[in-house]
Amino acid sequence: MMNRRPPADWVTQLSDIAAVFAAARRGRAGCCGRSAGGHPLWCIHYGERRLPTHRATYNSAVASGDPGNYYRRAGKRPHVLIFAAIHGLELEGTAAVMDLIRLLETGEVQGFDPADAEAIAGLASDVSMTLIPIANPDGRMRHVEIDALLGFDLEKARYRMQGAWADGSIAGWPEVKAVHPVAPARVKHLGAYFNDGGINPMHDSFPVLLSPENQALFKLVDAERPDFILSLHGGTNVTNHLVPPAFVPPYVMRHNAAVSRRLAEWSRGAGLPLIDSFADMPADGAVQPGELDSFNLMSALHHYCGAVVLVYECNQGLAVIDTLQLDYAGMRRAHGGLFRVLLEHAVATADMELRSFGLQPARKAVRA
């Protein structure tokens, strides 16, 4: 069995995050809002960001025939927004964001491969970044005794993540989404998916936002107008992969496909498993949503600001027989590669509008 105890520099506790943010000097650190339970939403910015006032909302600008009426990005420094733990105990991404902050603040390499850390540090001068280590602190605070789910069996992990119904039965995935918002009387234990108001922020009420966490996030997005938004998730013992977003235009899919293909190449070189979920995507990126695809937080963020939205699922190292189990080092290295690949892609496409990104050639499925 893997050692459950995380490395000493694995930072996922809100108190430790607060201390790192208080000591930040290179980034502009602060709180962009409060959760339903009153916990701070820590946020830090790197790089200058000077934007003209937009002339229209994004959807109106698109309807005008010129998305540039909202924001014209070509030739400007690309902006990347990364947030983790929208489900409060998916902490692999939180630790990785803190590794990234430590690298940007001090140059210290912890968790990432040195070559990836060097590349990220070099790319940082060509991009702007906004980093949110825990987007759902309420869910995180429900289990302060846990820093990761590595080594947990599936039932114990589900109890902490999805919770238990009033009769004590585990609220497994995806059945846990069948009742929402979750009233206290319905559950014996409210899982970390939810804020203290019983809202799973990934499935808030769009466009009328119920959760203060998402209200703060959308306000931030309107101010920053990011070009790329990356949401970091933990997916039990899945093979690492980018999840195809739903209800987005083809250019978003083409960017995702390019990042996924490059990430598959990086993963092969690093000896880490990854599934390229976009390998069989049509070359033009035109993918029709399935009948059960949901318009979720990432769909809404795209339609609010036009950003390329990406969702990354990382293996959590559960103690489940006959499944892939990454250890702490593997999780951190995987995220370092992801950050490097995304920043490289953002810089490489900085001189074009996101919608003009070239078509990707058809290719066979790749499993790294």
Residue 175: phi and psi, rounded to 5, are: -60, -25
Q: How many of the other CB atoms lie within 10 Å of CB of 178?
A: 7
Determine, yes or no, domain membership for 148. Answer: yes
Percentage of the chain with pLDDT > 70? 96
Query: What span, in angstroms and rounded, lies between the C-alpha atoms of 138 and 38?
Result: 8
Q: How many domains does the chain have?
A: 1
Residues 306-326 have pLDDT tens digits of 999 999 999 999 999 889 999
Would you state the pLDDT for residue 365?
A: 44
Sorted by sequence, the CB contacts under 8 Å of residue 190 that are 6+ apart come out as 142, 163, 182, 184, 198
Query: Structural domain of residue 206, as residue ranges?
Result: 14-356
Q: How far apart are CA 315 and CA 335, in angstroms?
A: 11
Does residue 328 carry a pLDDT above 60? yes
Evaluate whether residue 363 is within a structural domain.
no
**Residue 181 burial (C-beta neighbours within 10 Å; 0-12, 13-18, 19+):** middle
Q: Per the domain annotation, does 361 fall within a domain?
A: no
pLDDT of the residue at 362: 46
Residue % of the chain over a pLDDT of 90: 86
Please report whether residue 178 resides in a domain: yes
362 within a domain of the structure (yes/no): no
- Output the average pLDDT for the chain: 93
pLDDT single digits (tens) 128-141 = 999 999 999 999 99
pLDDT above 80: residue 364: no
Contact at 8 Å (CB) between 84 and 133?
yes
Domain presence at residue 367: no
* Residue 173: pLDDT band with limits 50, 70, 90: confident
Is 7 inside a domain boundary?
Answer: no
The reply to whether 365 falls in a domain is no
CATH number at residue 76: 3.40.630.10
Return the beta strands (E) in the chain as ranges: 28-34, 40-46, 79-84, 128-132, 163-165, 187-190, 228-234, 241-243, 308-314
Q: pTM of this prediction?
A: 0.96
